[in-house]
Amino acid sequence: MIATVKRVGTLQTDLQVCAHCGAAVTHLARHQPRDEGTKVFCCTGCKTVYSILRDRDLLGFYEVADNSVVSLKEKPASDYSYCDSPWFRDMFVKASPNGAWSLSLKLPEIHCAACVWLLEKLPEMLPGLTGARINYLRKHLTVSATADITPAQAIQLVADLGYAPDFSRESAATQKLSAYDKSLLRRMAVAAFAFGNAMLFSLPEYFSNHVESAFAKTFIVLNAALATFVLFYSAGEFFKSAWRALKKKQVVIDLPISIGIAAMFVRSAVDIATGTSAGYFDTFAGLIFFLLIGRYVQSRSYAWLNFERDNLLFLPLAVRVQSNGGEIFTPVKELKPGDALRLLAGEIAPARCRVLSETAAADYAFITGESVPVSLVKGDMFEPGGKVVGQSVKLTVTEAVDQAQLNRIWENAPRENEDILSKPAGGFAERILPWFTFAVVAIATGALLYWLPRDPAIAFNAFSAVLVITCPCALAMAKPFSFFTAQSALARQGLFLKSAQTIEKFFNITSVVFDKTGTLTQPGAFDIRFDAVSADLSDPDRRAIATLAGESTHPLSRAVAKWLGEAFHEVPEDFTENPGLGVAAVIGNDRYLLGSAAWLAAEGVIVADLPSAEFSSVVWCARGKTCLGRFQVRNQLRENLSETVERLKGEYNLSLISGDSAVEHDRFAAIFGSGAHLSFHARPEEKARLIGELKKSGPVMMVGDGLNDAAALAAADLGVALTEDNSHFSPASDAVLSAAALPQLPGLMAQARQSRKTAITAYGVSFAYNAVGISVAVAGKLTPLFCAVLMPLSSLSVIALAFASAAITARLRGKN
C-alpha cells in the first residue's frame, strides 16, 4: 500500500523568538544558543552580536527607529585573519607615517537606520579605532585607527556584527565612467556659473534703454569672457566628439550641436564688434549648461550595481592553503597547481581541484544550473565555482585559476564595445540626424541666397540666425530625459537598467527566454511530498526524522526538517553524516537513516519499490532496516509565476533553457504551454548557442541568475540578471531585476516600451520650437531676447514632458 501525505505548514511547540533578530526559534538545532539562561537565539551569530552589544552597553541598538535586524542563521562565520597580510594591506589599506591607517569597506548588508547607528559606534566597541563613517547610499564604511590595532581586528568585529564585507573592486569600465562623470560635473558647474551671471549682466540690455555706456561695455566684456571660457572648457567635448565622428564618416548629434554652438559664438562676437547688439552670450552659456545636463543624464547608470562584472568577483578573495606551518591565507590569484586547500561549508572553489577528503558534496547551482548538490568521493574533481555543502573539504589545485572552466564560461560570452562613453547609440534620433543636419544647412543656405541680392546684411543675419536657433538642444535632451525618467521609474519598481540607452532594447523584443533554477524557482524554498511505504509516519517517527534532519547541513535535509516541524529536544546519539549521501543517528532506542536510496541500501535497508518520483529530488528515510518512505522535494516556484508567464504569452515567444535535469519538464510545460520551447541539460555554451538560434527570428531577451547564464545573457539582445539582493554578485547584464519584481515583469516591459512614445513626443515638441525659431530666423528678425526666451523654454518643456510622462505611466501601470 502506498500512502501519499501532503502537509501545509509546520507544527511547533514552546515557540520563542530570537533576542537579536526576532525570528521564530524552533528546537531543531542540536544546541540552542542561550545567554546566561535568560535569552534565546536562533543561531550562534545572533548570540555573538547580542553579547557584543550587551558587554559594551549598546543595547540601545534595539530601540533605534526603523530597526529591521536580519537573522544571521544562514551566514557562516568567516575568519578574516588574512586581512593583516602584506598583499591585503597593499590592496585595501591606506597607511600613515605614524602607523595609523584607514580602510573603506563595502557592506552590502547595510539596510536601515539602526545599521548606521551601530556601525558608527565602532570606536566605542574597539579601543584603537578613531573613526567610523557611513556612506549609506553607497553602503560604504570608512574606518580609521591607530597602530594599536590591526585591520583584521576591525574587519572581524564588523563581520561578527553581521556585516560581511565585500572586497570586490570596481571594473575598469565603472571606474572610467565615474571619472567621466566627475569631469562632466565640473564642466556643468562652470557653465551654470556663466549662465547665471550672463543672464544677470544681460537683463539691463533687454529691459532698459538707459544703461550707461561704461556699464554696458563692462557687462558685454564680462559676458564675452565667461562665454569664451565656457566655449573652450565646458563645450570642448562636443567639438571633439563631432570631429571623431566625421573622421569615421558618421553623423552624430554632436555635429549639429557643434555647428549651432560655433554659429552662436561667432554671431555674438560679430554683433558686438559691429555694435549691432550685445550678442547671445547669455543664451550661449545656458545652451551649454542644458546640453551638459542631458549628457550627464545620458551617462549616469547604477554604478553600485556593478553591471560590468569581472568573473573573479564571484570567487573568494583568499583561501586556506595547507603548509608545513599550518594554514596560510593565500590570494586566489596566487594559487598554483599542487596547492592543498581546505574549504569550509559555504565557501567556493576558486579553481579546478581534486578531492582529498573521503567524501564531499558540491553545490553547482550557480555554475551549471543543477539544483541538486553533487556527491563526491576521494579522487573526484571539484569544479571551480562549486560551493561546499556540509563538512569542510580538503582539495588540491589541478589547474591555475585563469585556466578554470569559470573563466572559459566568462570569456566565451560575447562582449560589447567596452568604450561605453564613445560608443554611438542607435535609434530614432540617430536615424534622423543626417536629415536634420542637412535640413538645417539647406534652410540656412536658402535664407542666405534669398536675402543676398536684396540685403546682404539681412542675408548674413538670416544665415547665422538659422544655425543659432536650430542648435538641437531640446532634440539632444529629448531621448536622454525620456529614457532616464523611465529608467528611474523602473528602478523604483525593481528593474535596474545598465543605462538609459538600455530601454531601447525593449522596443523590438520578440522572444523571452528564462533560466529555471533560481530564476523561476525560489532559492531555499521547497515543495515537499511524503510517500509512505505502508502507512503515514507515526508521531514518534516523524519527530525522530525531524530531529535527525535538523542535525544535517544538507539543504534537502534542512528542508525536510522545516516541513516536518516539531522535533525531539534531546541530542541524537552516534550521529554520522556522509556529505551528499545521508545522515544517521540513534534517537530513543532506534537508529534512523535519511538519505539517498543507494546509501540506505548500502546500510542494509531494503528500499521499497515505489512508482517513479514526480519531483526533482528524493530523500529516503528508514528506522533500523525498515524503509519508512520517501520525501519528494522540488524547488518552490516564484510567486504568481503562472500568471506572469500567461501575461507574457500574448506578446512574446517564450522559451525555457535550463542546465538542470529534465525531471520537471512536464511541470514547466504545463506553465509555458505547448508553443514554448523547453531545453534541459544545457551547459553554459549550449545556452548561448540556443539563444543564437532564437535570434534568427527576432531580438531575444534572456532572464537568468547564475554564472552559468553569463554567456546566454551576453549573447541575448537584452540580458536581464535576476537577483535576490541587488548588491550581491550577479552575471554581467544589461539590466538587473529584483526577484520580488519578477511578477511585475510584463508591466515593466510595457512601461519601458512606453518611453519610446514619450521620446517621440519630445522630438515633436523640439521640432515645433525649431519651426517657430526658424520662421523668425529666416525673416532676419532674431533678437537676443527672443533667443534667450525660446531656447531655455524648449529645453524645460522637454524635461517637464519626460518627468510627467514617466510619473503618469507608472501610476497607471500601478492601478492596472
Q: What is the pLDDT of residue 511?
A: 93
CA 546 – CA 527 distance, rounded (Å): 16
Instruction: For the chain, give percent helix, strand, coil, nearest 5.
Output: 50, 20, 35
pLDDT band per the 50, 70, 90 thresholds, residue 368: low
> What does the pLDDT look like over 176-206, one tens digit per residue?
555 666 778 888 888 888 888 877 777 666 5
Q: What is the pLDDT of residue 656?
A: 92
Q: Which of 72-86, 615-629, 644-658 has the lowest mean pLDDT?
A: 72-86
Q: What is the mean pLDDT of residues 77-84?
A: 78
Q: Tell whether the model's pLDDT for residue 645 goes beyond 80.
A: yes
> What does the pLDDT look like over 448-465, one tens digit per residue?
788 778 777 777 777 777
> What does the pLDDT look like over 547-582, one tens digit per residue?
898 888 777 888 898 888 877 767 788 888 887 788
> What does the pLDDT look like over 211-229, one tens digit per residue?
566 666 777 788 888 888 8
Q: Which of 22-26, 103-107, 629-633 has the lowest mean pLDDT?
A: 22-26
CA 687 – CA 224 distance, rounded (Å): 60
In the block, which residue shows the cell 510619473?
807
Q: Tell whether the model's pLDDT for residue 163 goes beyond 80.
A: yes
Q: What is the mean pLDDT of residues 41-63?
A: 79
Nearest Cα to Cα of residue 287 among 799, 792, 774, 797: 792
Q: Tell whether the model's pLDDT for residue 616 goes beyond 50.
A: yes
- From first CA to last CA, the distance across the chain in angstroms is 50
> Start-end ranges of CATH 3.40.50.1000 in the chain?
483-521+638-753
Q: What is the pLDDT of residue 268?
A: 78
Kindly provide the b/e burial profile for residues 739-755, where b requires at least 16 CB atoms within 10 angstroms of the residue's own CB: bebbbbbbbbbebbbbb
Q: Give the amino acid at 436.
A: F
Q: What is the dotted CATH code of the domain comprising 81-160?
A: 3.30.70.100
Q: What is the mean pLDDT of residues 663-672?
A: 87
Q: Which of 374-378, 494-498, 682-686, 784-788 has the lowest mean pLDDT?
A: 784-788
> Start-end ranges of CATH 3.40.1110.10 in the chain?
522-633
Q: What is the dotted CATH code of the domain comprising 483-521+638-753?
A: 3.40.50.1000
Q: What is the pLDDT of residue 14?
A: 46
Does residue 130 contact residue 146 with C-beta atoms inside 8 Å?
A: yes
Q: Which CATH architecture has domain 313-409?
A: Distorted Sandwich (2.70)
> Start-end ranges of CATH 3.30.70.100 in the chain?
81-160
Q: Tell whether the model's pLDDT for residue 45 goes beyond 50.
A: yes
As beta bridge partners, residue 166 has: 106
User: pTM for this one?
Assistant: 0.63
Does residue 285 contact residue 198 with C-beta atoms inside 8 Å?
A: yes
Looking at domain 522-633, what is its CATH homologous superfamily? Calcium-transporting ATPase, cytoplasmic domain N (3.40.1110.10)
The secondary structure of residue 739, as a DSSP letter, is G
> Of all residues in the chain, what percent carry a pLDDT higher than 70?
76
> Start-end ranges of CATH 2.70.150.10 in the chain?
313-409
pLDDT band per the 50, 70, 90 thresholds, residue 648: very high
Q: What is the pLDDT of residue 82?
A: 80
Max CA-CA distance within the chain?
115
Burial of residue 233, with CB atoms counted within 10 A of its CB: 0-12 exposed, 13-18 middle, 19 or more buried: middle
Q: What is the pLDDT of residue 735?
A: 84
> Of all residues in the chain, what percent carry a pLDDT higher than 90?
11
Q: Residue by residue, what is the 3-state secondary structure of 534-562?
A: CCCCCHHHHHHHHHHHHHCCCHHHHHHHH
